[in-house]
């Protein structure tokens, strides 16, 4: 089990809509990860099951999309992941001992957006 390394991705426009399914498809194509996940695909997520890195279902908390050919963190994607970590959307299937690191990763993006993470309010 592992939290991905913070990539400090550039932010997409704040008003960009978030469609996780569409973002997933674009990220797979951009990363060349049609058959199995790779490092570029992993960078778009906050967490993955390191015991099963070849399974797409091992990757959780997608926060990025491909915008103008570049991987960017989407503010609404970050907020969606933040809501999941708050339990607003049923929570995430992530080991409890990994939650603080996941929240720290997301907090970096909240800070970059000029906001406080919801669990810090």
Domain ranges of the chain: 2-120
How far, in Å, CA of 95 to CA of 108, rounded?
21
Contact 24, 41 (CB under 8 A): no
Interval 11-37 mean pLDDT: 97
| Among 41, 115, 47, 119, residue whose Cα is nearest residue 75 | 115
Q: According to the model, what pLDDT value does residue 90 have?
A: 52
Q: According to the model, what pLDDT value does residue 43 have?
A: 96
What is the pTM for the complete model shown? Answer: 0.93
E strands along the chain, which residues?
A: 2-3, 45-48, 59-62, 64-67, 70-73
Residue positions counted in the chain: 121
| 96: confidence class by pLDDT, cuts 50, 70, 90 | confident
Query: Which residues, 6 or more positions from 72, have their beta carbon under 8 angstroms from its beta carbon?
Result: 9, 10, 11, 12, 64, 65, 66
Point out the least confidently predicted range of 40-44, 48-52, 86-90, 113-117: 86-90
Interval 92-96 mean pLDDT: 85
Q: According to the model, what pLDDT value does residue 88 have?
A: 52
């Amino acid at each position: 089990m592992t939290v991905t390394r913070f990539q400090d991705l550039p932010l997409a426009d704040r008003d960009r809509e978030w469609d996780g399914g569409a973002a997933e498809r674009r990220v797979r194509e951009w990363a060349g990860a049609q058959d199995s996940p790779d490092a570029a695909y992993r960078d778009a997520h906050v967490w993955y099951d390191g015991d099963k890195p070849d399974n797409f279902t091992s990757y959780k908390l997608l926060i990025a999309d491909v915008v103008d050919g570049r991987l960017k963190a989407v503010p609404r994607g970050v907020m969606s992941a933040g809501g999941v970590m708050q339990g607003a959307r049923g929570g995430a299937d992530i080991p409890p001992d990994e939650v603080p690191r996941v929240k720290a990763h997301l907090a970096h993006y909240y800070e970059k957006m000029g906001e406080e993470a919801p669990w810090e309010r």
